[in-house]
Amino acid sequence: MSVTLSREDIVRLCERVEGAQTRAYAIPKLTNEYPGMTIEDGYAVQSELRRRFIEQGHTLVGWKAGLTSKAKMEQMGVNVPSIGFLTDKMARPENSVISTSDLVHPRVECEVAFVTNKDLAGPGVTAADVIAATDYVLPAIEIIDSRFSGFKFDLESVIADNGSSARYVGGGRARHTKDIDLRTLGVVMEKNGEVIGMGASAAVLGNPAEAVAMLVNILHDLGETLPAGSFVMSGGITEAVAVQPGDHVIARYQDLGSVSIRFGE
Amino acid sequence: MNQQKIDQYGDELYQAFLDRKTITPFTEREPDITLEDAYKIQLRFIQRRVDAGERIVGKKIGVTSKPVQDFLGVFQPDFGQLTSSMVYQEGDVIDLGGLIQPKAEAELAFVLKEDLQGPGVTAMDVIRATEYVAPCFEIVDSRIRDWKILIQDTVADNASCGVYVIGSCKADPRDVDITMAGMVLEKNGELFSTGVGAAVQGSPANAVAWLANTLGELGIPFKAGEVILSGSQSNLVPVVDGDELVCTVGGIGSCSVRFAGRSAV
C-alpha cells in the first residue's frame, strides 16, 4: 500500500478533519467518499494536520499509540498499532476541570506515559532501546474523541483524525523504569466513585515499552524520529469509557500513584 | 430442607466426585432450596471426604467479582473448604484425568499466622494476621451438569472447588500493595488476560475479612496456618492436555502450572 490520494484531496480531507476537531462536530467517516483510501493516505492527512497546527503555533510535544491491545488489533484487522501526534494545546493539568463543549464524544482511557531523554529513531527499535532512552514513566489519562458520526469509523479514517487524540493529562508519580515492573502495573479506573475499568499494563502489547518501540518504527515510515524530551502515551490499558459534564474520573496505578480529573460543560 | 435430604444430596455430590460424573442441578429439583441448605449440603459433602481421610487445610472464596455476582444475582461472595487432596506443588503437572469439567483461575492466596475469629474482623485484621500472600491457581471444577449453576448449586458443591497450586514466591502484605497489584495471565506463552487485586471485593483483604466474619457466624474454625484462595482476578481459562499457564502478580512474582490428561467431560 502507499499514498493514493492527490495532494489536493489530502488537503481537502485535512481541512474537513481540522474543522471537526476545532469546532467540535461529527463528520461521516472519510472512506465513505474515498473508499480506496489506504492507511498511508490516513497518515498523509494526519501529517498535513500536524503541519498546519505547528504553523498555527502549536508545539509538538510527543506521540500516542492506539490499538495496542490484541483484541482491538484483531477487530481492526491490523498487526501494528496506530499512532497520533500530541501538542501542547491538548495538555490539561491534573485535578483540573476539562471542558466537554469543545469535544464531540469524549471517552477516557488509563495509560502509562513515557518521557524520553535520548533520541530514538527506527527502524528496528526494540522495547529494550525504549527503556534505555526513557527518562521516566508516569501515569496518564487520555481523553480520546472520535470526530466520526455514530462511532462509525475504520482505521484509515481514525488515523486521518489523528488517532482520535483530543486531550491528555499526565500526573501521579514519576518513576525510573528500573524501580518498577512495567509489565505488571495494576490499574483501576473509577468514574464518580464506581470502578469502570481494571487491568494490568501487560494489556498493552505485553509491555507498554513494546508499544513505544512500534510507535518509533512507524514514525520511521513517516520520515520522523522521536527526539529526546518527547512525551509518549503507550496505549489504553482499560477500555475507553464515555464521560459527560459533572463526571469525576480517577485512574489509580500500582507504584505510580493516581491521576484525577473532572469534566465540565 | 430436612437433614435426611441434606445428607442425601451431600452423599450424591460425594459419589459424583468419586465417579467423576455430573449431577442435575439442585435448583432444578428443589426450587425452594436456600443458601443455608446449600451450605449444609456442602458440610455433608466435605464431611464424607474428611471421613475418607482428607484433612481441611484452608478455604476458598468465590463469587468475588462484580461480573460473576451480577451473573449469579448475588451480592456477596461464597466459600468452600480446601482439603489435603486438592493441593499441588508448583512444578507438579496437574492431572486433568482426576477432574470432570475443569477451568483455571488466577488468584492471590493468603496464609494465616494467627486465627481470625469473626464477627468484627476488618481488612486491617486480615493484614495483621497474614503470614504471607502468594500468587496461585485454583482449578475450579463442577459436579453439576454443564456448569448450569445457581448460587445454591455451587455452594452445595463446595464452591466448585477442584484443586489448587500455590506459587513458591511470596510477599508480606505490608511490602506490597495487594489492592493495586496487577495480575498478568499467560497461556502457552501468550497473553490471556490481565487483572488487578481490586477486582476481588475492592481488595483481596476485604474478601478474607468477609470470610472470617461469615465463618464466625457459622461457628466454623478459621485457624493459623490455613490457606485462603481469595477469589479470581482473571477470566476462567479452559485447560486441556499440554497447556501451560503462568500468572504474575506485580511486586510478588509468578506461579506456573502445567496440565496433562483428559477430564471426564
Q: What is the pLDDT of residues A193-231, one digit of tens each?
A: 999 999 999 999 999 999 999 999 999 999 999 999 999
The residue length of chain B stands at 265
Please give the C-alpha separations between residue B104 and each of B45, B48, B158, B242, B258, in angstroms, as whole numbers: 22, 25, 16, 14, 11
When CB atoms are compared, the residue of A183, A186, A237 closest to B197 is A186
Residue A66 has pLDDT above 90, yes or no: yes
Q: How many CB atoms lie within 10 A of CB B2?
A: 8
Q: What is the pLDDT of residues A97-151, one digit of tens each?
A: 999 999 999 999 999 999 999 999 999 999 999 999 999 999 999 999 999 998 7
Mutate to test the interface with B, among A184, A188, A189, A195 (most CBs of B within 10 A): A184
Mean pLDDT of A177-192: 98
When CB atoms are compared, the residue of A70, A199, A206 closest to B196 is A199
Min Cα–Cα distance to chain A from B185, Å = 9
The residue length of chain A stands at 265
Which residue in A has a C-alpha nearest to residue B198's C-alpha? A188
When CB atoms are compared, the residue of B191, B198, B250 closest to A198 is B198
- Strands of the sheet containing A97-99, edge to edge, are A97-99, A257-264, A248-253, A186-191, A194-200
A237 and B195 within 8 Å at the Cβ level: the answer is no
The values of phi and psi at residue B33, to 5°, are: -60, 135
Q: Measure CA of the first residue to CA of the last residue in chain B; give whole Å.
A: 31
The label of the residue with cell 490455613 reads B226
Q: What is the mean pLDDT of chain B?
A: 96
Which residue in B has a C-alpha nearest to residue A181's C-alpha? B250
Min Cα–Cα distance to chain A from B121, Å = 24
pLDDT band at B102 (very low <50, low <70, confident <90, very high): very high
A186 and B191 within 8 Å at the Cβ level: the answer is no
Beta strands in B21-129 (DSSP E): 56-62, 78-83, 87-89, 93-95, 103-112
Domain boundaries, chain B: 56-260
All structural domains of chain A, each given as residue ranges with its CATH number in brackets, are: 7-264 (3.90.850.10)
Which residue in A has a C-alpha nearest to residue B234's C-alpha? A199
B250 and A203 within 8 Å at the Cβ level: the answer is no
Residue B147 has pLDDT above 70, yes or no: yes
Residue A78's pLDDT is: 80
Q: Chain B residues contacting A, CB < 8 Å?
A: 66, 177, 180-184, 191, 194-199, 248-251
Burial class (CB in 10 A: 0-12, 13-18, 19+), B133: buried
When CB atoms are compared, the residue of B198, B248, B249 closest to A195 is B198
Contact A174, A136 (CB under 8 A): yes
Q: CA–CA separation, A192 vs A262, rounded Å?
A: 9
Contacts of A203 in chain B (CB under 8 A): 191, 194
Residue A69's pLDDT is: 85
Residue A151's pLDDT is: 73
Min Cα–Cα distance to chain B from A56, Å = 42
Burial class (CB in 10 A: 0-12, 13-18, 19+), B242: exposed
B191 and A202 within 8 Å at the Cβ level: the answer is yes
- Min mean pLDDT across A39-53, A61-75, B83-97 is at A61-75
Which cell numbers in the block locate residue A12?
481537502
In the DSSP assignment, the letter for residue A175 is B
Residue B179's pLDDT is: 97
Contacts of A202 in chain B (CB under 8 A): 182, 184, 191, 194
Residue A1 has pLDDT above 70, yes or no: no
Would you state the torsion angle of the CA atoms of residues B169, B173, B174, B175, taken in this order, to the nearest 10 degrees? 30
Please give the C-alpha separations between residue B197 and each of A207, B71, B107, B229, in angstroms, as whole numbers: 19, 20, 9, 13
Mean pLDDT of B122-138: 97
Min Cα–Cα distance to chain A from B170, Å = 16
Which cell numbers in the block locate residue A44?
498523509
pLDDT band at B235 (very low <50, low <70, confident <90, very high): confident
Annotation: CATH topology of B56-260? Fumarylacetoacetate hydrolase; domain 2 (3.90.850)
Going by their DSSP bridges, the two strands A106-116 and A231-233 should be labelled as: antiparallel
Contacts of A186 in chain B (CB under 8 A): 177, 180-183, 195-198, 250
Mutate to test the interface with A, among B66, B108, B179, B180 (most CBs of A within 10 A): B180
Mean pLDDT of B168-181: 97
Min Cα–Cα distance to chain A from B58, Å = 27
Contact B195, B68 (CB under 8 A): no
In the DSSP assignment, the letter for residue B180 is T
Q: CA–CA separation, B186 vs B247, rounded Å?
A: 6
Beta strands in A79-236 (DSSP E): 82-87, 97-99, 106-116, 134-145, 165-170, 186-191, 194-200, 231-233
Contacts of B180 in chain A (CB under 8 A): 186, 188, 252-255
B196 and A187 within 8 Å at the Cβ level: the answer is yes
Min Cα–Cα distance to chain A from B14, Å = 38
Which cell numbers in the block locate residue B179?
489492592
Beta carbon pairs, A and B, within 8 Å:
73
A199 and B197 within 8 Å at the Cβ level: the answer is no
Contact A139, A253 (CB under 8 A): yes
Contacts of B194 in chain A (CB under 8 A): 199-203, 237
B196 and A186 within 8 Å at the Cβ level: the answer is yes
A195 and B66 within 8 Å at the Cβ level: the answer is yes
Q: CA–CA separation, A142 vs A64, rounded Å?
A: 9
Q: What is the pLDDT of residues B87-98, one digit of tens each?
A: 999 989 999 999
Q: What is the mean pLDDT of chain A?
A: 95
Contacts of B251 in chain A (CB under 8 A): 181, 184, 254-255
Min Cα–Cα distance to chain A from B180, Å = 5
Give the torsion sign (CA, B179, B255, A237, B70). negative
When CB atoms are compared, the residue of A70, A195, A200 closest to B250 is A200
Buried b (16+ CB within 10 A) or exposed e, A210-231: bbbbbbbbbbbebebebeeebb
pLDDT band at B31 (very low <50, low <70, confident <90, very high): very high
Contacts of A72 in chain B (CB under 8 A): none
Residue B45's pLDDT is: 98
**CA atoms in the 13 A half-sphere facing the CB of A219:** 24
